[in-house]
Amino acid sequence: MSLPSAPESEAQVVGAVIGNPSLIPSVSDVLRPEDFTSSTYRTLYTTALEMAGAGVEIDVVSVARKVRGGIDSIKVADLANDVTTASSAIHHARTVREVARVRSLALLGTEIAEAAMKLDATGPGVLEAAETGLYRIATDHREEERATWADAVSGALNRIEHQHQTGKTLVGVPTGLETIDGALGGLQKGWLTYVGARPGIGKTALAMQAAIHAARSGFEVMVCSLEMSAEQIATRALCNIAAVDFSRVRRRTLDDDDWRRYLHAEETLKALPIRIYDSDVETIPRIRTRARRWRPDLLVVDYVQLVQARGQNRESEVASISRGLKAIAHDDGIPVLAPVQLNRDSEKREAKRPTLADLRDSGSLEQDADVVYLLHRGEVPNRVDFTLAKFRYGPTQGDAVGWDSRVTKFYDL
């Protein structure tokens, strides 16, 4: 099988950077040495990049002298003389880059076919390999969109001016809790927000309450739930919206008024723009693929330690998951809200209040997050301590919210 290649464009790119070294910054933003199929052109391109990085003057003779392996100055000169314009060089660089992407996809297709033909192949295993490969190609071959510093400054000023003129402080996706929305201005694009708590404190309830409120406010929401099924989440949501005691559902003691409120809640919830996935097996590539397909305004992943990843140990696995979630938030401009399990260390302390050090399995969780909330139920009934333990863009603070266990709902005090 002959793999896709673009030798003419590769030659044009190499000639451009040697004949006009000022093109190197813009061309290298598009093209990497590994994108070349010709070893000769790859060597020449790599040499030119290295010389530019070292501040060495680049011309036909110096490049030919630097390169070993029989590439003479006459051939290098011929390449340099073939290029006409800077725009042509960028065009050819993008052509080589795109052909490299197609070549990677072709090789991945072969790898997937070979994996599927093995005797021990399983559907989930082959699917995960395919998703991982596609995720790698999508990220490795993505040409970065870079804003100038001037554009960034103007954009920031325009946003501040808009908030000042409109008096609008909630600029992100609302959660419905002033404790959060007042401190953060809502869940912002590009932010990774962790909600840490021990089991049974309400981290999943908080995440789903925020998701439903966002959807009721008109935002598209995607939920990846590994702890609870879609039906279990829907049951809680019905109780929450209908304000019906969940214990009445378990005991099957609903009266006519309960049913009336349930039917009204059903109409409300069915119309919400929520996509929910409750697969037993979830990976970062799979989440990334769905997020790019649907482009939600908010992504909820419940919860971090249940996402699958490969690593040398549990710490490296969780670190990989956390980096993946941060990449989704940052690269795709999506607020990511993810409950995270805390370890038992907080329960051993006299005050029992959790700290950032209690984030379970990896220090990368604290490092990658833009926002970390820690939940703790103290001795005061129906009250949950809400600690903003990390806020990359502002001060941390302690607060508290009310908790109604009958309908699994948080509320502002």
pLDDT of 49: 86
- Within 10 A of 94 (CB to CB), how many other CB atoms are there? 16
**Tens-digit pLDDT profile for residues 171-192:** 789 999 998 988 898 999 999 9
Q: What span, in angstroms and rounded, lies between the C-alpha atoms of 181 and 401?
A: 13
Asked whether residue 211 falls in the same domain as residue 302, the answer is: yes
Asked whether residue 245 falls in the same domain as residue 114, the answer is: no
Asked whether residue 100 falls in the same domain as residue 212, the answer is: no
> Is pLDDT of 142 > 60?
no
Asked whether residue 217 falls in the same domain as residue 91, the answer is: no
> Is pLDDT of 1 > 70?
no
Please report whether residue 39 resides in a domain: yes
Cα three-residue angle 62-63-68, rounded to 5 degrees: 115
Owning domain of residue 48: 7-140
Please report whether residue 272 resides in a domain: yes
Phi (first) and psi of residue 225, to 5 degrees: -110, 120
Asked whether residue 127 falls in the same domain as residue 169, the answer is: no
pLDDT of 407: 82
Residue 297 CA to chain centroid, in angstroms? 12
Q: Are 220 and 296 in contact (CB under 8 A)?
A: yes
Mean pLDDT of 14-38: 85
Q: Are 279 and 316 in contact (CB under 8 A)?
A: no
Provide the mean pLDDT of the chain: 82
89's tokens? 């060089």
Rg of the chain over CA atoms, in angstroms?
A: 27
Strand order in the sheet with 371-376: 274-277, 221-225, 298-302, 336-341, 192-197, 371-376, 383-391, 397-404, 409-412
> Is pLDDT of 298 > 90?
yes
**Tens-digit pLDDT profile for residues 250-268:** 777 778 787 888 888 888 8
Please report whether residue 385 resides in a domain: yes
CATH number at residue 387: 3.40.50.300
Beta bridge partners of 336: 192, 299
Please report whether residue 149 resides in a domain: no
Asked whether residue 130 falls in the same domain as residue 190, the answer is: no
Please report whether residue 156 resides in a domain: no
Q: What span, in angstroms and rounded, lies between the C-alpha atoms of 329 and 139?
A: 14
> Is pLDDT of 284 > 60?
yes
Q: What span, in angstroms and rounded, lies between the C-alpha atoms of 199 and 107?
A: 44
Is the omega angle on the peptide bond into residue 303 within 30 degrees of 0, that is, cis? yes
Mean pLDDT of 217-234: 89
pLDDT band at residue 228 under the 50/70/90 scheme: confident
Asked whether residue 92 falls in the same domain as residue 180, the answer is: no
Asked whether residue 231 falls in the same domain as residue 368, the answer is: yes
**Tens-digit pLDDT profile for residues 187-225:** 999 999 999 988 888 889 999 999 999 999 999 999 998
User: Count of domains in the chain?
Assistant: 2
Asked whether residue 89 falls in the same domain as residue 199, the answer is: no
